[in-house]
Structure 1
Amino acid sequence: MGRLISVIMMLLLVPAAYANDVVVLQYHHVSTDTPAVTSISPEQFAEHLQYLRDNDYQVIAIEQAYQALEQQQPLPAKAVVITFDDGYQNVADNAVPLLQKFNMPYAIFVNPDLLEQHQGFYMGWDTLDRLSQNGATIVNHGQSHAHLIRRQAGETAAQWQARMDEDINGAQASIAKHISGSKAKMFAYPYGEYDTALEQLLEQWGYISFGQQSGVWSQWSDRQAIPRYPASGKYASIDTLKVKLQTHAMPVVAQQPQDPLLSHANARPTIRLRLAKDHQVSQYWLRCYAGSEMLKPEWQDDHSFSVSPSREIPLGRSRINCTAPAPDGGYFWHSVALIRPDTDGSWPD
């Protein structure tokens, strides 16, 4: 009981001094006749924007967020960035008028090959260029939305790197050619899939990169694995959005394993996280989850803990999420992206 009381007192008395951080929301389709798992209706999207406006959230351009974090300058309180993956035409038809009504900037990650091959389903270059002059940042999602970290049969490391150069830098060149004034070297991983080798290439080429693991973009974020919260499909409800908007970056300064891509045999990976020395994360209230399983953290010292699932993680993409109450009533949040291949090196889409 004494320990519980001391924890409660800490939560009540510690000032809400957090990292300079920003919630990044990820959308795909804004439509009622597209796949539900990646869609939000125009009515729900309007509800999201109205909630942001009514509750004093500051929607800022993705470049503003990057510059503030890179230069260690203050961000607006309750900062939010809005992003769309793939550049579907229904975003231009249904989301853009609402964003313009609310005067909110946004970013669209595009695939040049797809938009040129499937005109009408994706926005064309003329539309994207017009939007870029009216509040949108047009950025890189790869040429064709390929599974980039999956090696082709017999492909050498040098051949894979050349293919990545064509896919990523080729897409960047297309954006620069067609979008007036577009200079941002920002990349979103197709399917949220990345590994250490791909991260290293993107760092070498001067990009910052966005994943699909949940969490808050902050000074502690890996520049090549910036988290975003999905806000479509089962995450489109306003109640889910409220929870995400009230989160803060968990101050993770080291993570093991660093590479999301595991071996098939590593079916119950041990995740080790080290927190900043001045962290406010309660050992008592910290909880981690692998799917529906709650994991018990093992603390090595006041700043380091580990977790390991008792059951095998599934093949393909999965996450281990760790949360703890923050002094302002929200939550600290950190998500670890994992990819477990099958015995032959493949994994489900």
Structure 2
Amino acid sequence: MKYRLLAALCYCLHMTSFATVILQYHHVSATTPASTSISPEQFSLHMQYLEDNNFKVIALSTLMTSIKQQKPLPDKSVVITFDDAYLDILTHGKPILDKHEFPFTIFINPSIVERNSSHYLSWQQLKAMADDGVIIANHGMTHDSLTRVPEGVSQQAWLAQNTESLLNAEQLIAEKTGQSWRYFAYPYGEYSPEIQQWIKSNDFVAFSQQSGAVGLATDITSIPRFPASQPYDQLSSLRDKLNALAFNIHLAGENQQTIFQQGESTSVSFTIEVDDFNPEQLHCYISGLGRQKIQWQGEEMFTINYSAPLPTGRVRCNCTAPSISEPGRYYWFSKPWFILKENRQWYPL
């Protein structure tokens, strides 16, 4: 593989010139739950850092058009997204974003908006923001996980039921804001290969919560976003993420699965298409287990045999490797799992 690296270096110099990072936020507040919040002061530092370091903040629609047309964007492009339509996005976040003239997207749950809670944006406020250029997108009619099929209900019936809900939410967003992008953010970031196929068949693009940069080959049914709220809100940890490069890693068959009972899955294999790194510098970490041993299967596939059973809950495997052609930058890919208890019961949300 090392010989191929040298031969492909000029080609890689061109290919690594496109990398977009999507940041995911929820609250912009110092008084809301820490796990979904960033203080206005820290959020302001994030935005100032983007401006001072020549990152190009673009609309989510610009990124999706680029992928659809397979036309690279300027390097170090960034997309800003919020989940859940909290009022503090308007009161605390938008003034900071407007100061820098940064576009952004809000993923909303129409049924929650219609409760008229003082903690959430109203349709009137969302319409005004939409008219001001903010993208309003679909987070599901409610905030229920699509993966948690009720007992006694088939997967087919469950997805049929959620098709109606998804389309009704999109229609309501269109009626209330004048926008219909068919962008969908998975509630809790939970999905499966069956749900990805369902998203595709309904002509939606879907966004997840595992980390990683976005490239022209990114799967548009599970587009990664870097969480940027606490505890990931410090600039020291954000810098490497903002400079991340898209790792073209693919999974097939059983390796695509995301939902397992604890102890059911013992390994995972990845197919990789990027030559711009040294194999010995590829490192993969699994949440709760730490760094894992990598076994190469030829030049384009590697396997991880887990050092211990995957823990119950939302689990991530993050794989990174330093770029040869872009010193100081890292390729970054994340594989999510949702690990059930031994009795196949779901962990608490």
Alpha-carbon shift at residue 215 of structure 1 (Å) = 0.3
Per the alignment, do residues 8 and 158 of structure 1 end up closer, same or farther by CA in structure 2, a change over 3 Å counting?
A: closer
2:229 is matched with 232
Structure 2 CA distance for aligned equivalents of residues 205 and 12 of structure 1: 39
1:271 aligns with 2:232: no
1:49 to 40, 47, 55: 47
CA contact (8 A) 2:262 2:310 kept: no
Alpha-carbon shift at residue 8 of structure 1 (Å) = 12
Structure 1 CA distance for aligned equivalents of residues 265 and 65 of structure 2: 39
Alpha-carbon shift at residue 87 of structure 1 (Å) = 0.6
Structure 2 CA distance for aligned equivalents of residues 11 and 161 of structure 1: 44
Runs of 4+ in 1 over 6 A off after TM superposition: 6-14
2:243 is matched with 246
Structure 1 CA distance for aligned equivalents of residues 157 and 251 of structure 2: 31
Alpha-carbon shift at residue 314 of structure 1 (Å) = 1.1
CA contact (8 A) 2:191 2:258 kept: yes
Alpha-carbon shift at residue 151 of structure 1 (Å) = 1.0
CA contact (8 A) 1:11 1:326 kept: no
TM-score (norm 2): 0.93
Per the alignment, do residues 118 and 264 of structure 1 end up closer, same or farther by CA in structure 2, a change over 3 Å counting?
A: farther
Per the alignment, do residues 158 and 299 of structure 1 end up closer, same or farther by CA in structure 2, a change over 3 Å counting?
A: closer
Alpha-carbon shift at residue 101 of structure 1 (Å) = 0.9
Gapped regions of structure 1 (runs ≥ 5): none
2:278 is matched with 282
For residue 281 of structure 2, give the secondary structure of its aligned residue in structure 1. coil
C-alpha deviations, 1:76-98, integer Å up to 9, x for none? 22100000000100111000111
Kindly provide the amino acid, as one letter, of the partner of residue 303 in structure 2: S
Per the alignment, do residues 8 and 185 of structure 1 end up closer, same or farther by CA in structure 2, a change over 3 Å counting?
A: closer
2:304 is matched with 307
C-alpha deviations, 1:114-158, integer Å up to 9, x for none? 111142211011111111121310000001100211111211234
Alpha-carbon shift at residue 260 of structure 1 (Å) = 0.9
Moved more, 49-58 or 211-220: 211-220
Kindly provide the amino acid, as one letter, of the partner of residue 219 in structure 1: L
Kindly provide the amino acid, as one letter, of the partner of residue 285 in structure 2: Y
Structure 1 CA distance for aligned equivalents of residues 94 and 26 of structure 2: 13
Moved more, 43-52 or 170-179: 170-179
Structure 2 CA distance for aligned equivalents of residues 262 and 281 of structure 1: 31
CA contact (8 A) 1:104 1:135 kept: no
For residue 259 of structure 2, give the secondary structure of its aligned residue in structure 1. coil
Map residues 1-349 of structure 1 onto 2, 5 A cutoff. Answer: 15=13, 17-18=15-16, 20-180=18-178, 182-255=179-252, 257-268=255-266, 270-276=267-273, 279-291=275-287, 292-327=289-324, 328=326, 329-348=328-347, 349=349
Alpha-carbon shift at residue 308 of structure 1 (Å) = 2.2
TM-score (norm 1): 0.93
Kindly provide the amino acid, as one letter, of the partner of residue 309 in structure 2: E
Structure 2 CA distance for aligned equivalents of residues 196 and 8 of structure 1: 32
Gapped regions of structure 2 (runs ≥ 5): none
CA contact (8 A) 2:9 2:276 kept: no
Structure 1 CA distance for aligned equivalents of residues 31 and 314 of structure 2: 26
Aligned residues: 343
Q: Percent of aligned positions with the same letter in both sequences?
A: 35
Structure 1 CA distance for aligned equivalents of residues 154 and 335 of structure 2: 28
Structure 1 CA distance for aligned equivalents of residues 165 and 68 of structure 2: 26
Per the alignment, do residues 249 and 22 of structure 1 end up closer, same or farther by CA in structure 2, a change over 3 Å counting?
A: same
Per the alignment, do residues 41 and 156 of structure 1 end up closer, same or farther by CA in structure 2, a change over 3 Å counting?
A: same
Kindly provide the amino acid, as one letter, of the partner of residue 138 in structure 1: I
C-alpha deviations, 1:52-81, integer Å up to 9, x for none? 000000000000000011101120221000
User: What do you get for the CA RMSD once the two structures are aligned?
Assistant: 2.3
Alpha-carbon shift at residue 183 of structure 1 (Å) = 2.2
CA contact (8 A) 1:251 1:279 kept: no
Alpha-carbon shift at residue 344 of structure 1 (Å) = 3.1
CA contact (8 A) 1:293 1:309 kept: no
CA contact (8 A) 2:4 2:275 kept: no
CA contact (8 A) 1:215 1:229 kept: yes
For residue 61 of structure 2, give the secondary structure of its aligned residue in structure 1. helix
Structure 2 CA distance for aligned equivalents of residues 177 and 46 of structure 1: 33
For residue 80 of structure 1, give the secondary structure of its aligned residue in structure 2. strand
CA contact (8 A) 2:214 2:246 kept: yes
C-alpha deviations, 1:263-302, integer Å up to 9, x for none? 444153x1211112x5213211000001251111100111
Per the alignment, do residues 308 and 16 of structure 1 end up closer, same or farther by CA in structure 2, a change over 3 Å counting?
A: farther
Kindly provide the amino acid, as one letter, of the partner of residue 58 in structure 1: K
Per the alignment, do residues 294 and 287 of structure 1 end up closer, same or farther by CA in structure 2, a change over 3 Å counting?
A: same
Moved more, 311-320 or 33-42: 311-320
Kindly provide the amino acid, as one letter, of the partner of residue 230 in structure 1: P
